[in-house]
Amino acid sequence: MRQRLFATAVAALAAALAVAACGSSSSGSGGSGGSGASGGSTTLKLVAADYGTGPSNTSAKYWQGIANAFHKANPSITVKVTVVPWTNFDSEIQTDVQNHNFPDITEGDYFSDYAQQGLLYPANQVMSDPGRLLGVFKKQGTYNGVQYGMPFTTSTRTLFYNKKIFAKAGIGKAPTTWAAVKADAAKIKAKGYIGFGLPLGPEEAQAESLLWFLGDGGNYQNAQGKWTINSPQNIAAFNFLKGMVSAGDTEPHPGTQDRTPLWEQFAQGKIGMINGSPALVPIIQQGGVLKSSDWASVPIAGKSGPLTKTLGVCDNVAAFKPNGHGAEIKKFLDFAYQTKYQLQFDHEYDLLPATTAAANKLSSSPLYGSFIKALPGSVQYPSDTAWAQVKTQVQNQIGTAVTGNPTSVLGSLQSTAEKQGSQ
Amino acid sequence: MATTDPPIRLRRPLAARVATSLRPALWVGPAVALIVVVVLWPVIVLVHSSLQNIAADGYVVGGAGGRNFSTLWHEPALKGVVLRTVIWVVAVVGVTLLLSLALAQLFHQRFPLRRLARTALIAPWAASVMMTALIFRWALDPNVGAVNIILHALGLMHRLGSNQSDWLGRPGWALVWMMVVAIFVSLPFTTYALLSGLQTIPGEVYEAARVDGAGRWHCYRTITLPLLRPAILVATTINVINVFNSFPIIWEMTRGGPGYETSTTTTFMYILKQSFIGEAAAMSVVNFALVIVVVLFFLKVTRWKEQVT
């Protein structure tokens, strides 16, 4: 009798607990309400990508310097800096957003579907003068006619080649067509080096693929905004790459190789040619193997001639709404985008600025001048809201196209993109 | 339930009786609450999520019925992933068991520095699995990895930086190496489980067998192995669950490989989760059901109740 009473009482308690748990499991959309900005201190959460190659030049140092200077000027606002490596950046931000653990400011990749969901502040609400940003990158951060993604740093891509290896392999000048690339890579391979460094691993496969698409006049989308991932030009580009891979002209298994390790191998003098950006320059200098006369950068080779429009990549700052810190974010962004900080970042990581003022300051620099001149005519990633998810799929899957069947891999990416767009 | 109360005495009021009977709950309560919160509630939320249509940024758009499961079923990569998971679990658990039987037998003998050897065996178990996987990944680097340099010095590797030296780039060999790492980290626990089982076998049984003229191998097969059955059972069950759910080894060594070519169901679910949350939840539900089914089946087949009582 006593045992039965115990069992009943426990069951009643358990049921009460279960009902309470189910009731509270549906947390409301949006995070905790905005903090009281009037009086009392505010903390801004800044999540930035790491552009450094090690602890000595990690981006955390750059951002912490700005955060400290900002805190001195605005004692009631503290900025908490978190820096994430590029390979993890997307999944980290996406996981945080999925868990409703929203940051205040992110710097790195930009997700236009967050603008679609109303998670982001428009640029004109968190920046006194969005017009100071380079106009060519406005479209990729715009959704429904309003700019949400603010460029922070930019770069353009060129073909880097190792002059010493070229001399050893008996190659006179840098290649300008795909056929020349293949021939040169084969000669370099015969000398025991890697002919062409092809990073199709998850870090930045979307950039490398686009450079080859552009070579044949292809792209992720056409001018009307329709997805063209499996267009004949793109498939032709990957068939060419597949040929190079099976001939051994590239490093083994490009689908598993990321950009940063391959750039480091180029800096060690092991690779003949690789597509790079100004950010490759400090890696070469730190490697200590190649002198500045041992390498050079030229326009990227296209199918029948060098590319006239190269890929212009910009990394964006996005300001998140759910924590309600709009006013503080505006103060911080106005502070952080000063020309001196833009130039500091560009000198540290050999990238290009995102404000017109800073770009003008650098346009006559011997190192940056040609890259800056290429910026206005550069090609961007799609500004479609489905791009964030398509990019993730491309990063994970496109490496299999050079060992498998490009038509089916690009076709499945195309159908994923169309499915995303229709949701 | 001693009836010390005289039969004519009135029973205490209901409230008091409930309060007294709930007293054991004070002792059992925390453990039960822990199980409910940490085990049961996540499972309920998981099943609930697998029936929802969730956008890639975490917003629940609405119900999805069985659509997540049917999308999962039609994933072209699913067949390969499931096959690979089966091979992964069977090979790792099987080889671990065989090697552990041998190691346990070894450590059961007396030899100098036995204690030191037994303690050293704990190292792979104590070290973080992710660190072990990272170290192996660097050791297999095509250009500077320790494994490749040794093979090259021995003349078994023609050239560093070639297709042949890029073990983790080739899905077949990557799987083999990941299994090596998994076996390496599973050996300590299994060996210790079997060792403790060996130590419970009384020596008289062997004496009796020797008197009857049984050879060493016959002894092992007919006495040791059957008496080790409870230990083998425990070790295998726990290993199957751990290896099936193993994430850090695959993630750190190949990230699931080019595409999904070295993924098991666990890493497949994780990669899906970045964009297709509902489908990833469906995969998780399938994983959960699979592991329960496998363990229950295994326990039934080996008639575990008879071992324990």
Among candidates B21, B25, B166 on the partner chain, residue whose Cβ is nearest the Cβ of A252: B166
Among candidates A5, A389, A397 on the partner chain, residue whose Cβ is nearest the Cβ of B17: A5
pLDDT of residue B24: 84
Which of A256, A257, A384 would best serve as a mutation to test chain B binding (most B beta carbons within 10 A)? A256
What is the rounded average pLDDT for all residues in chain B? 88
Clarify whether residues A326 and A261 are in a common domain: no
Q: Does residue A18 have a pLDDT over 80?
A: no
Residue A24 is assigned to a structural domain of this protein: no
Q: In whole angstroms, give the CA distance from residue A254 to residue A262.
A: 10
Clarify whether residues A217 and A328 are in a common domain: no
Clarify whether residues A55 and A141 are in a common domain: yes
pLDDT tens-digit profile of B67-115? 999 999 998 899 999 999 999 999 999 999 999 999 999 999 889 998 8
In chain B, which residues have their Cβ closer than 8 Å to the Cβ of A90? 274
Q: How confident is the model at residue A205 (pLDDT cuts 50, 70, 90)?
A: very high
Average pLDDT of the segment spanning A395-403: 91
What letter would DSSP give residue B128?
-
pLDDT tens-digit profile of A144-161? 889 999 999 998 888 999
Clarify whether residues A236 and A126 are in a common domain: no
Average pLDDT of the segment spanning A40-50: 92
CATH number at residue A213: 3.40.190.10
Average pLDDT of the segment spanning A398-412: 93
CATH class as words, domain B78-308: mainly alpha
Clarify whether residues A232 and A267 are in a common domain: yes
In chain B, which residues have their Cβ closer than 8 Å to the Cβ of A202? 255
Clarify whether residues A229 and A297 are in a common domain: yes
pLDDT of residue A27: 39
Average pLDDT of the segment spanning A73-86: 93
Q: How confident is the model at residue B306 (pLDDT cuts 50, 70, 90)?
A: low
pLDDT tens-digit profile of A67-79? 999 999 999 999 9
Which residues partner with A221 through β-bridges? Answer: A227
Q: Does residue B167 have a pLDDT over 70?
A: yes
Beta carbons of B272 and B279 less than 8 angstroms apart: yes
Rounded to 5°, angle at Cα B50 from B46 and B56: 100
Alpha helices in B170-276 (DSSP H): 171-199, 203-211, 216-219, 225-227, 229-244, 248-254, 265-273
What is the rounded average pLDDT for all residues in chain A? 87
Q: How confident is the model at residue A229 (pLDDT cuts 50, 70, 90)?
A: very high
Is the dihedral angle over the CA atoms A281, A287, A292, A295 positive or is it negative?
negative
Residues whose CB falls within 8 Å of the CB of residue B279, separated by 6 or more in sequence, listed in order: B68, B71, B72, B75, B272
Tokens linked to A416: 């994923």
Residue A68 is assigned to a structural domain of this protein: yes
Q: Does residue B56 have a pLDDT over 80?
A: no
Average pLDDT of the segment spanning A339-346: 93
Average pLDDT of the segment spanning B205-218: 85
Instruction: Report the range out of A45-54, A80-89, A180-189 with the highest average pLDDT.
Output: A180-189
Weakest mean pLDDT among A91-95, A221-225, B160-164: B160-164
Instruction: Report the range out of A392-406, B81-95, B219-233, B258-272 with the highest average pLDDT.
Output: B81-95
Q: In whole angstroms, give the CA distance from residue A185 to residue A357.
A: 41
Clarify whether residues A294 and A323 are in a common domain: no
Clarify whether residues A281 and A409 are in a common domain: yes
CB contact under 8 A, B170 and A253: yes
CA distance to A104, B76, B120, B193, per residue, from B114 (Å): 57, 52, 10, 17
Among candidates B41, B169, B259 on the partner chain, residue whose Cβ is nearest the Cβ of A400: B259
Q: How confident is the model at residue A33 (pLDDT cuts 50, 70, 90)?
A: very low
Token look-up 């590797």 returns B157
Average pLDDT of the segment spanning B280-303: 87
In chain A, which residues have their Cβ closer than 8 Å to the Cβ of B254? 256
Q: How many domains does chain A have?
A: 2
Q: Does residue A2 have a pLDDT over 80?
A: no
Q: How confident is the model at residue A52 (pLDDT cuts 50, 70, 90)?
A: confident
% of chain B residues with pLDDT over 70: 95
- Nearest residue to A235 (alpha-carbon basis) of A204, A206, A213: A213
Q: Domain ranges for chain B, please list them.
A: 14-50, 78-308
Q: Does residue A37 have a pLDDT over 80?
A: no
Q: In whole angstroms, give the CA distance from residue B207 to residue B223.
A: 11
Clarify whether residues A264 and A364 are in a common domain: no
Average pLDDT of the segment spanning A196-225: 92
Average pLDDT of the segment spanning B243-262: 91
Beta carbons of A264 and A158 less than 8 angstroms apart: no
Among candidates B22, B143, B166 on the partner chain, residue whose Cβ is nearest the Cβ of A253: B166
Tokens linked to A171: 């190659």
Average pLDDT of the segment spanning B148-157: 91
Tell me the residue range of the domain where A60 lies.
42-155+313-374
- Nearest residue to B248 (alpha-carbon basis) of B167, B171, B185: B185
pLDDT tens-digit profile of A274-332? 999 888 888 898 888 999 889 988 889 999 998 888 888 889 999 999 999 999 999 99
pLDDT of residue A43: 94
Average pLDDT of the segment spanning A53-76: 92
pLDDT of residue A207: 93
Clarify whether residues A116 and A46 are in a common domain: yes
Clarify whether residues A97 and A237 are in a common domain: no
Clarify whether residues A208 and A333 are in a common domain: no
ipTM (interface pTM): 0.76
Half-sphere exposure of A413 (CA within 13 A, CB side): 32
pLDDT tens-digit profile of A248-273? 999 999 999 999 999 999 999 999 99
pLDDT of residue B262: 93
Which residues partner with A160 through β-bridges? Answer: A274, A297
Q: How confident is the model at residue B138 (pLDDT cuts 50, 70, 90)?
A: very high
CB contact under 8 A, A97 and B58: yes
Higher pLDDT, A376 or A233: A233
pLDDT tens-digit profile of A100-156? 899 999 999 888 888 888 999 999 999 999 999 988 888 888 888 899 999 999 988
Q: Does residue B7 have a pLDDT over 70?
A: no
Number of residue pairs across A and B with CB atoms under 8 Å? 99
Residue A226 is assigned to a structural domain of this protein: yes
Angle between helices A280-287 and A259-267 (to 10 degrees): 50
Which residues partner with A155 through β-bridges? Answer: A313
Q: How confident is the model at residue A90 (pLDDT cuts 50, 70, 90)?
A: confident
Average pLDDT of the segment spanning B172-192: 95
pLDDT of residue A34: 38
CB contact under 8 A, A252 and B142: yes
Q: Does residue A4 have a pLDDT over 80?
A: no
Q: Does residue A16 have a pLDDT over 80?
A: no
CA distance B149 to chain A (A): 17
Q: Does residue B57 have a pLDDT over 60?
A: yes
Strand A312-319: give its sheet, edge to edge.
Answer: A77-85, A42-50, A105-108, A312-319, A150-156, A352-353
Average pLDDT of the segment spanning A382-406: 89
Strands A105-108 and A194-197, by their bridges, are unpaired
